[in-house]
Amino acid sequence: MADDRQRKFAKQMEIKFTKEHGSNKMEGGEITDKNVTYYRLGVDQNPRKVEMKKAGQEISKKRGLVGYNPMMHCGGIPLGQRALTPSFLSGTDMMVEMDDLHYVNNAAMQQMWDDIRRTCVVGMDMAHETLEKRLGIEVTPETINHYLETLNHALPGGAVVQEHMVETHPALVDDCYVKIFTGDDELADEIDKQFLIDINKEFPAEQAEQLKAAIGKTSWQAAHIPTIVSRTTDGAQTTRWMAMQVGMSFISAYSMCAGEAAVADLSYAAKHAGVIQMGEMLPARRARGPNEPGGIPFGHMADMVQTSRVDPEDPAHIALEVVGAGCMLYDQIWLGSYMSGGVGFTQYATAAYCNNILDDNLYYNVDYINDKYDGAANKGIDNKVKANLDVVKDIATESTIYGIENYEKYPTTLEDHFGGSQRATSLSAAAGSAVSIATGNGNAGLSGWYLSMYLHKEALGRLGFFGYDLQDQCGATNVFSYQSDEGLALELRGPNYPNYAMNVGHQGGYAAITSGAHAGRGDAFAVNPLIKVCFADNLLPFDFTQPRKEFGRGALREFEPAGERSLIIPAK
Amino acid sequence: MAYELQYYPGATSVAENRRKHMSGKVEKLRDISDEDLTLVLGHRAPGSDYPSTHPPLAEMGEPEDSIRELVEATPGAKAGDRVRYVQFVDSMYNAPATPYFRSYNAAINFRGVDPGTLSGRQVVEARERDMEELAKFQIETEMTDPALAGLRGATVHGHSLRLPEDGVMFDMLERVRKEGDVIVMHKDQVGRPIDRKVSLGKPMSEEEAAKRTTIYRADNVAFRDDAEVIEWVHRVFDQRTIYGFKPEN
């Protein structure tokens, strides 16, 4: 293809590298220049670093114990020996300080994880069967509405049934609620609208039909316990808290005997038999319960992100939003905490969702696929190209070489992705997502990911950190492995998959590849329709239709999180 | 007819340079004295004895063992040297070596070495005198351009950054600088000042670096133009994939 296309990162690179930011003296030059002047201005060139330096000094003075001091870096040579530049959230015009994309400094990132961790989906049908068949209690839309009103009082921590109980302050738990959804239009019509996630309203008609067909006549509760509870305890607490309040609400709403044996059945259904966790529990060596990030399958992540219902005609955009959400949660929060601590993982992850470099690569691929394979990258089922190794090789090779050549033709992009792991993630995510969009097959996309790693390593004589060389050289062998535990469908793999557990910089890409396969087909969901519908809810503090923009709002300090404690602490 | 090692596919100068690095048949371009090498590595004072972690093997009364008979210990192991490192950083702007080809050179041509390969750096750990032998070899030959490659124990991101006007790869810790027409190192690998400057010799011209490099670049030898290398990458990919799917194939 001709090389005259406008690069999607051009504007971002120009502003980052040829315009002054703070006092970094980055004025002039071209984004294609191979040479630059390094002014070694230190941290004082950057507004956020100056703010942090001042805060560090004040803290040291106040507590009588030294703290943050940028001169402690590298034996007295501070950060900023090259220009400290801002970044743009990909797909937006939001320019932010890189420091503000660390999850500690970004309330939106924290809330995205809070909103996942505090969520579970709970079936209603088992409970209703217990009530109707065992106890002979009639369940009607009216009783369901009454129950939901009771539960929306109880779930945040309001008392029912028992007398003289302590309760949580409603203003501290105002983000906690439960809603209901069903594939049964007749039942949905009877549910009080304040409680309903209306599939017909939230999804395009074609997707709504798919979801309703998958969910059928069953009905489900989307329960979100308080952020403050989840943050104080852990993800495994979510179903326990929910089940306790669900059990109490059934007792109250249906005037049951608090001690009768049927209550145990309701509890069992809510805690185990009828509950969908966002993530599976982890083995002892990683030691986390359910609903922790290491247990969230890539297919679940693809379903939590809601771009597919607001921009269904653009599969690449859908995959790119999943990249952002996945890299933030899996790399910055999960691997950045259980595997390692500190700050480094932010650099890995942000490369995939900042400055449009990955976006440019993937949209180039879309054009390439549509030209060569008759529109196979457009949303559809009949237009997909058959998934085979020749197709994987063709698309992944073109994608990877295009991406590599961008680093060579635009040295500012190479400087932006200054680490090989950043480059490897971006290149492979583009290649893998492109293959999955074209074929509608996540494992074919994964195959493209691994080929991209091989090509990258041979082209540049380098790849990423040790993990890339370890896992990415053996990965192709388990893409279609005949051994089921190795050859699992990508939708069902997750961060705890055997050789992914140390895979920094990969998992957001894997989630995107999963998402791309289904977005390319126009599927309403990747693996679980219940999770897709559960997050189709604008009452959640974090907007899952546009994770990257939300991260930008967090970085710009415009995002309003939940679970704040200002009500119960001294005013400042 | 005796089998001749082929090392690497490809019909371009980059592929040929890769074969040279792997075979160890590289051109010597400069000398670095033992004292200068010791200074820039920064592990011990020049002229001092090698610190040891155990007595010489000959004095240890090791038990009889067939492997010991088959594999002769390296000089460093025989002497009981501690394990130390040398870490190189190679610019992506046509430095002669790349991390993988430094590692291949080490693993194929030297004994008792433990190469580690990353994107910005390449580290070799070995018994100290064995490591020095390798470091000296790689520094003195065409594998190294003192302007586009460096000894850096930490802060290695200069490998991907644009070059300063003088063409010397960016180094946050400024371990090297260009003085006149030569590159001098005035700090050791981890950035500690050393007693005197060590000359690493003249930098390569842009043309020479482009001729000797092992990295493909669109502005020199483009990866997409080396069809044989891409073909072999595809072959490796096919075989690894198919083996996992159906090993008998």
pTM of the model: 0.97
pLDDT in tens, chain A (572 residues): 557 789 999 999 999 999 999 999 999 999 999 999 999 999 999 999 999 999 999 999 999 999 999 999 988 899 999 999 999 999 999 999 999 999 999 999 999 999 999 999 999 999 999 999 999 999 999 999 999 999 999 999 999 988 899 999 999 999 999 999 999 999 999 999 999 999 999 999 999 999 999 999 999 999 999 999 999 999 999 999 999 999 999 999 999 998 889 999 999 999 999 999 999 999 888 889 999 999 999 999 999 999 999 999 999 999 999 999 999 999 999 998 887 777 788 988 999 999 999 999 999 999 999 999 999 999 999 999 999 999 999 999 999 999 999 999 999 999 999 999 999 999 999 999 999 999 999 999 999 999 999 999 999 999 998 778 788 988 999 999 877 777 899 999 999 887 888 888 899 999 999 999 999 999 999 999 999 999 999 999 999 999 999 999 999 999 999 999 999 999 87
Closest CA to A303 of A281, A275, A276: A276
Q: What is the ipTM of this complex?
A: 0.97
For residues A369 and A441, state if they share a domain: yes
Q: A357-372 and A315-326 are packed helices; what angle lies between their axes, rounded to 10 degrees?
A: 150
Respond yes or no: is residue A483 known to be catalytic: no
> For the domain that residue A398 is a member of, what is the CATH number?
1.20.840.10
For A336-388, where are the alpha helices, taking DSSP H only? 344-350, 357-372
pLDDT score of B1? 73
pLDDT in tens, B179-229: 999 999 999 999 999 999 999 999 999 999 999 999 999 999 999 999 999
User: How many structural domains comprise chain A?
Assistant: 3
Active-site residue (options: A69, A162, A200, A538):
A162
> CB distance B218–A405 less than 8 Å?
yes
Nearest chain A Cα to B97, which residue?
A461
Respond yes or no: is residue A499 known to be catalytic: no
pLDDT score of B249? 63
Where among A55, A74, A101 does a domain terminate?
A101
Active-site residue (options: A177, A330, A348, A368):
A348
> CB distance B162–A411 less than 8 Å?
yes
Buried residues in A191-220 as b, exposed as e (16+ CB within 10 A): beeebbbbbeebbeeebbebbbebbeebbb
Which domain does A50 fall in, by range?
10-101
Note whether residue A284 is domain-resident: no
Note whether residue A54 is domain-resident: yes
H-helix or E-strand containing A179? strand A177-182
Note whether residue A109 is domain-resident: no
Length of chain A: 572
For residues A263 and A376, state if they share a domain: no
If you count residue pairs, one on A and one on B, with CB atoms under 8 Å apart, how many are there?
145
CB-CB contact of A328 with A513 (8 Å): no
> For the domain that residue A151 is a member of, what is the CATH number?
3.30.70.470
CA angle A383, A384, A390 (to 5 degrees): 135
For residues A25 and A135, state if they share a domain: no
> For the domain that residue A95 is a member of, what is the CATH number?
3.90.390.10
pLDDT score of B245? 86
For residues A208 and A335, state if they share a domain: no
Nearest chain B Cα to A423, which residue?
B119
Active-site residue (options: A274, A467, A475, A508):
A467
List of chain B residues whose C-beta atoms are within 8 Å of the C-beta of residue A463: 117, 119
Where among A101, A135, A166 does a domain terminate?
A101
Chain B nearest C-alpha distance from A81 (Å):
6
Length of chain B: 249
Q: Mapping DSSP to helix (H, G, I), strand (E, B) and coil, where does residue B127 land? A: strand
Strands of the sheet containing B149-151, edge to edge, are B114-117, B122-127, B83-90, B149-151
For residues A360 and A441, state if they share a domain: yes
Task: Compute how many other C-beta atoms are within 10 angstroms of the C-beta atom of residue A560.
Answer: 11
Note whether residue A225 is domain-resident: yes
Q: Which residue from B161, B170, B245 is facing A481, i.e. has the nearest CB?
A: B245
For residues A78 and A166, state if they share a domain: no
Q: Is B188 left (phi over 0), alpha (psi -120 to 50) or beta?
A: beta
Nearest chain B Cα to A476, which residue?
B241
| Gap between the terminal Cα atoms of chain B | 31
Respond yes or no: is residue A497 known to be catalytic: no
Q: Which residue from A424, A466, A480 is facing B241, i.e. has the nearest CB?
A: A480
CA distance A92 to A305: 17
DSSP 8-state code for residue A378: S
A162: annotated binding-site residue?
yes
Closest CA to A510 of A435, A420, A414, A419: A435
Note whether residue A543 is domain-resident: no
For residues A398 and A514, state if they share a domain: yes
Question: Which residues 180-209 of B are in CB contact (within 8 Å) with A?
Answer: 191
For residues A177 and A207, state if they share a domain: yes
For residues A396 and A293, state if they share a domain: yes
CA distance A150 to A423: 52
Longest CA span, chain A? 81
Note whether residue A498 is domain-resident: yes
CB-CB contact of A459 with A479 (8 Å): no
For residues A39 and A160, state if they share a domain: no
Residue A84 structure tokens? 């400290």
List of chain B residues whose C-beta atoms are within 8 Å of the C-beta of residue A412: 162
Q: Which CATH number fits domain B13-219: 3.40.50.10090, 3.90.320.20, 3.30.70.2740, 1.20.120.520?
A: 3.90.320.20
C-alpha separations of A244 from A289, A361, A554 in Å: 18, 49, 33
> CB distance B160–A418 less than 8 Å?
yes
Nearest chain A Cα to B217, which residue?
A408
For residues A88 and A155, state if they share a domain: no
Note whether residue A94 is domain-resident: yes
CA distance A314 to A447: 22
CA distance A455 to A161: 65
- Could you list the beta-strand ranges (E) of A69-173: 87-88, 95-96, 119-123
Ordered by start, the domain boundaries in chain B are 13-219
Note whether residue A173 is domain-resident: yes
> CB distance B119–A419 less than 8 Å?
yes
| Gap between the terminal Cα atoms of chain A | 60
For residues A297 and A224, state if they share a domain: no
pLDDT in tens, B61-120: 999 999 999 999 999 999 999 999 999 999 999 999 999 999 999 999 999 999 999 999
